[in-house]
Amino acid sequence: MALIKFLGTAGARFVVAKQLRYSAGTVIKSKNATLILDPGPGTLLRLASARPKIPIETVNGVILTHIHLDHSTDANIIIDSITEGGLKKSGVLFTTDEALNSENRVILPFLKPYLEGIFTLKHKGIFEFKDIKFTSFKHNHTAETYGIRFEIDEKTVSFVVDTLFFNELLDYYKDSDYLILNVVRLSEKEGVMHLSISDVEKFIKYSNPKKVIMTHFGMTMLRANPEKVAESLSNKYGIEVIAAYDGLTVEF
């Protein structure tokens, strides 16, 4: 059995700063691997307080899609914890060159030797770790950012993380069994490089997902009630659309 667990569903700085939703990352678990995607503020705490708990010693690594703090703040403490402060060379990291090497790097250099492997994401890069395979796709965002299309247990699980919508996204994530979209905005706003509900509708109409899960909500989405928005989309298009909540676990 594999699963996705949303430790947090906050998006945008105000929701994160006020902790109106938790800002922790997402657990991707297969039969043989447990990875944390985008460990934002509070991820370590939410692993320990999850029901059931997710022991840090069971975590094998981190996928960090970009440097923004709501995605990266706990990356270093997760790495330090799974390697027991460097006493045990363990775990892998998949992230951007910007996160590793730029003046805005967020991965502390002293931690790098602790890891068994560090892999740099790139456009249409193909990666494999234990029984998890995935492809990374470059997004259009204010930092170097990659979405992830996983192949886990014969299912396609796609994470369309922060990005301005562009048509090629529809092909990158086509025919996903689970299409997970970071939907910060209820409606588009000029200059904001995030997805909105009109973009969700484009994915539903043109990418043929089996199931859609929205997450990473900003204030306009919270005010609109994500569950009601999801229900409306489900009724309109005849496809299951779910609004993720903190702690949601999806098994497959």
The DSSP line for 180-248 is EEEB--SS--TT--SB-HHHHHHHHHHS--SEEEEE-B-HHHHHH-HHHHHHHHHHHHTSEEEE--TT-
Q: Please list, in sequence order, all residues whose beta carbon lies within 8 angstroms of the beta carbon of residue 48, skipping any fewer than 6 positions away.
A: 54, 56
Q: Is the dihedral of CA 224, 240, 173, 243 positive or negative?
A: positive
pLDDT of residue 237: 98
Q: Per-residue pLDDT tens for 151-176?
A: 999 999 999 999 999 999 999 999 99
Q: Angle 222-225-169 (CA atoms, 0-180°, nearest 5)?
A: 75
Residue 121: C-alpha distances to residues 93, 133, 135, 139, 140 (Å): 10, 13, 9, 12, 15
pLDDT of residue 65: 99
pLDDT of residue 108: 98
pLDDT bracket for residue 183 (50, 70, 90): very high
The average confidence (pLDDT) of the chain is 98
Q: Per-residue pLDDT tens for 113-141?
A: 999 999 999 999 999 999 999 999 999 99
pLDDT of residue 97: 98
Per DSSP bridges, beta strands 117-120 and 92-95 are parallel
pLDDT bracket for residue 32 (50, 70, 90): very high
Q: Residue 168: which H helix or E strand, with range?
A: helix 168-172
Q: Quote the percentage of the chain above a pLDDT of 70.
A: 100
Q: Residue 251: which H helix or E strand, with range?
A: strand 249-251
Q: Per-residue pLDDT tens for 66-116?
A: 999 999 999 999 999 999 999 999 999 999 999 999 999 999 999 999 999
Q: Per-residue pLDDT tens for 195-215?
A: 999 999 999 999 999 999 999
pLDDT bracket for residue 238 (50, 70, 90): very high
pLDDT of residue 213: 99
Residue 57 buriedness (CB in 10 A; 0-12 / 13-18 / 19+):
exposed
Q: Using the structure block, give the residue that is written with the tokens 């460097």.
A: 86
Do the Cβ atoms of 96 and 66 come closer than 8 Å? yes
pLDDT bracket for residue 52 (50, 70, 90): very high
